[in-house]
Chains A and B, each alone.
Chain A
Amino acid sequence: MDRIPILKIGETLLVTIQVDFHDRVALALLEDLSEKIVNFSSKGLLIDISALEMVDSFMGRILGNIAKTSRLLDCHCVLVGMQPAIAITITELGITLSGIHTALTAEDGLALLNKLVNAKKNGKPSAKKQEAKWR
């Protein structure tokens, strides 16, 4: 069975979804991710879905679950590179990916993640309110 590789870079985990992301792969990814976050005590998770061209309600929920799970394990989750069609589908399906951060590109995502993690380290009260500078 296909498994999506999870790369560890410092305190960050990096996942790029490039294969056919069907239900089983998604569930396996959720499982693997929660395990790795605990094992490496990662503080940030970056998921690149720029190659994902189709999404259904199940996939939307899994993405939401990944975000919620990582949140519980004290790890910020940033979703990058969502295609317009997917963004529209997710909103039309009424799935609210609350607690998930998004960024246009992997670069922006990493910057946002660093910011979120550092803000927490420095003991700033609410990292959530801080918005990434867009320029």
Chain B
Amino acid sequence: MPKETAVPLHAIISDSRDDILKEWIKAQLDDTSRSQAVPDASIKASSTEFFKLFERAISNGNISDIDRSEWEEVRHMLSDLSASRATQGSTPSETARFIFSMKQPLFARLTKDKSGPDAGAAVWELSLLLDKLGLYTTETFQKTRESIIKRQQKEMMEMSTPVIKVWDGLLAVPLIGTLDSARTQIVMETLLQKIIDTGSKLAILDITGVPTVDTQTAQHLMKTVSATRLMGAECIISGIRPQIAQTIVHLGIDINDIVTKASMADAIKEALARGGWTFEKQAENN
């Protein structure tokens, strides 16, 4: 059984509903630190809607536990609101202020109607409730931001590992950026699938865009090469810059059984030669 409030909060709110709402909206619109991400009309609309749900939830008498079912509509609305604000580009404090700016008009009513110890208790209770709601908005805001970051990471991952068909039966993978295990996994998966799809027997791994090669990166490269071999295809590693060649030697990494080439051009030449292709330059007509 939820605890009864110290003062009939619901009665106070329903008495001066319109005034509170007006003041609250005004407080939000007057806020000087507000960015222009959210238009005035949408602030008004969401405030009105929230206030309606807030009043309904309060009328149940429970103002201490917002996890309960009475508050479900409010929570729902708040998550939608903070999610949409997060995508619109509002700051977290701006979103939290949506709730916190409600304190002023509400507290003014509470202390005006009553005086004495009761009013203090009511303010305290209401303050706790609004803090909870405010934290809730910030949390959802943060969650939405995180999901955006995750999605972008995934997109970057996919964009950064294209598998190119260079020739019939010849694939190339230009690797760009640091090679960690998650990326190696994706490179491996896309490369192996492409090998099956195109029936290619040779793949060139170009590491020109890989800034540094340490033992772990080398390990990842070796894994990719051996997985490719298991499938029945061969791998050439190209784009080894002078510094990287020196690092590999310094680290004592053994890549003896892997064919390596200095540049992509050399790798393609070698690959075509292996496939039995020969090229000659046509004599130029002056």
Using a CB–CB cutoff of 8 Å, the interface residues on chain A facing chain B are 79-84, 86-88, 90-92, 96-97, 102-105, 108-109, 131-135
Contacts and interface: CB of A to CB of B under 8 A. Distances in A.
Contacts of A86: 230
Nearest to A112: B232
B230 A97 contact: yes
A5 to B, nearest CB: 23
B232 A108 contact: yes
Given A84-B196, A131-B274, 5 more contacts: A81-B232, A87-B228, A104-B195, A108-B232, A135-B276
Q: Bin the interface of chain B by size.
A: 20 to 34
Q: Which 10 A-B pairs have the closest CB atoms?
A: A134-B201, A84-B192, A135-B275, A102-B232, A103-B232, A87-B230, A104-B232, A87-B227, A91-B227, A91-B223
Interface in B181-229: 185, 188-189, 192-193, 195-196, 199-202, 223, 226-229
Contacts of A96: 226
Contacts of B276: 133, 135
10 contacts: A90-B227, A90-B230, A91-B230, A104-B196, A104-B201, A109-B232, A132-B201, A134-B202, A135-B169, A135-B201
Contacts of A132: 201
A102 B230 contact: yes
A131 B234 contact: yes
